[in-house]
Amino acid sequence: MTVILLIALAIFLIALAIFLIPVKISSHLDVSMADVYTKATWSFIKAELKLIGDQAFLRIFLFNMKVFSRFINRKRKKHRRSAVQILKALKLNHTALDINYGFNEPYLTGIFFVILNFIASIFNKAEVGLYPEFLPDAEFLRIKAKTNLNIGKTIINLSRQKV
């Protein structure tokens, strides 16, 4: 009887943590170096995703000990939900975006600045920092993003959507 109560208590605490403790997600994209890296941390679980060539490499840590590490195969399946539906369901808080960029032609950098500033004004829930460089040595684009994801509310939003 005690074991059942302990298991029920553990399930309850995990369910409570899913709603109260957000997943901290940070991502880095560098187009000039072809570098994509994403890290998600939730309590004692950490996941890292790195794009190597054209394949994604996933590592999962539990209490800072690696428990899973392998390339992810992309299987072509018909998805039931579109990417737009999934993005609408995400419950994100404290989203910050830093975009550093520069093109060989200064007027292209200016046009890109206006376009990004317009897009940033549409998404008013995110803090967007635009850092253009008008005379770079080489063209570059670097994006750093940080956000907090509430898993519980996201699951509820996904379950409410019509498929």
- Concatenating the DSSP letter of every residue in the chain gives -HHHHHHHHHHHHHHHHHHHSPEEEEEEEETTTTEEEEEEEETTEEEEEEEETTEEEEEEEETTEEEEEEEEP------SS-HHHHHHH--EEEEEEEEEEE-SSHHHHHHHHHHHHHHHHH-TTEEEEEEE-SS-SS-EEEEEEEEEE-HHHHHHHHHHS--
Better-scored residue on pLDDT, 123 or 72 = 72
Each domain of the chain, given as residue ranges in start order, spans 22-37+77-160
What is the reported pTM? 0.80
Q: What is the pLDDT of residues 139-159, one digit of tens each?
A: 999 999 999 998 888 888 888
Tell me the per-residue pLDDT of 39-71, one tens digit each, with 9 for 90 and over. Answer: 999 888 999 999 888 888 999 999 989 999 999
What is the CATH number that goes with domain 22-37+77-160? 3.30.1330
